[in-house]
Amino acid sequence: MKRFIITILLLVFCGMQAFAQTDRREVRSGNRSFRKGDFAKAEIDYKKALLKDSTSAAAQYNLANDLYRQENYQEAEKFAAKALDSLARSSRAADAYFNKGDIYLQQRRWGEAIEAFKSSLRLNPGDLDAKSNLAYAQKMLEKEQQDQQNQDQNQNQDNDQNKDNQDQNKDQQDKQDDQNKDQDKDQNDNQQNQDQNQDQNQDQDQDQNKDQNQDNNDDRQPQGQNQPQPKISPEAAEQMLQAIQAKENETQDKVNKEKAASVKSRQKEKNW
């Protein structure tokens, strides 16, 4: 920041002679606005100068400084690069490299800042500000690389830890699944045993009921068998026998008469 202010003041005093450019009203007006801190007005004046002469190194260099003060670093970088192309062989080239390096610092582009400050020091080895900024950029780059390395290491550790946790969870899940399978198998075996026992019990009950029914059937007597038989008197028995004998005699007489009739029929038929 200090170097930018000094450079602008030098431009004010030296004008366009330092850049071997024709003195222009817009550049001088821009320098006055810049000294007053009216950076927006200075930007307009420098751009007007570039409209008249797009190769004006003074307008490019000062516009880059002005945009830097407005923290418009991308635009500042663009015009600083143009100014550096115009000032590559002039005594201001070291300052142009320095300012470009300072713009990179603000964007935390440490590697590019380092190269810019090294280029500035090759042209002006005694520049203490360039040495200080170079050391700062190198330190920040080293810190960023270390932070990135730590972040990668932590990320790898997290990934390893997550993988270990996943493996552990998988092992636990597999173990739980095996336990559940064993438990289900035991339950199924128990259920099968219970079903078999129940079937056996049912068969035993059926056999027992069958045996019991058979025993009951064997023990059961025909109806009226165990009932006491009525007693018959001798007189009644004698009468029953006589009645049976009389019935048999009657039946025998009937049979004899039928035989005699049959004989007569055959004899008559023979006589004829």
**Angle (CA) 72 47 100, round 5°:** 45
What is the structure's pLDDT at 220? 53
| Predicted pLDDT of residue 79 | 95
DSSP letter string over 62-119? Answer: HHHHHHHHTT-HHHHHHHHHHHHHHHTTSTTHHHHHHHHHHHHHHTT-HHHHHHHHHH
∠ Cα 37 98 144 (to 5°): 105
- pLDDT per residue as tens, the chain (272 positions): 445 533 553 444 344 444 444 457 999 999 999 999 999 999 999 999 999 999 999 999 999 999 999 999 999 999 999 999 999 888 899 999 999 999 999 999 999 999 999 999 999 999 999 999 999 999 999 999 999 999 998 988 888 888 888 888 888 898 888 888 888 887 877 787 777 777 777 767 676 766 666 655 555 544 545 555 566 788 888 888 888 888 888 888 887 777 665 544 343 333 33
Domain ranges of the chain: 2-144
Contact 19, 13 (CB under 8 A): no
Alpha carbon 8 to its chain centroid, in Å, reads 59
Q: Is 24 helix (H, G, I), strand (E, B) or coil?
A: coil
**pLDDT score recorded for residue 260:** 61
| Residue-wise pLDDT tens digits, 201-254 | 776 767 676 666 665 555 554 454 555 556 678 888 888 888 888 888 888 888
Instruction: Please give the pLDDT value at position 70.
Output: 96
Residue 209: CA count within 13 A, CB half-sphere: 6
Q: What is the pLDDT at residue 76?
A: 97
Instruction: Classify domain 2-144 by CATH architecture.
Output: Alpha Horseshoe (1.25)
For position 84, what pLDDT does the model report? 93
Cα(184)–Cα(191) distance, integer angstroms: 10
Mean pLDDT of the chain: 81
Write the single-letter amino acid at 132.
Answer: S
Q: Quick one: pLDDT at residue 112?
A: 97
Tell me what pLDDT residue 144 has.
95
Helices and strands (H and E) in the chain: how many: 9, 0
The pLDDT value given to residue 237: 81
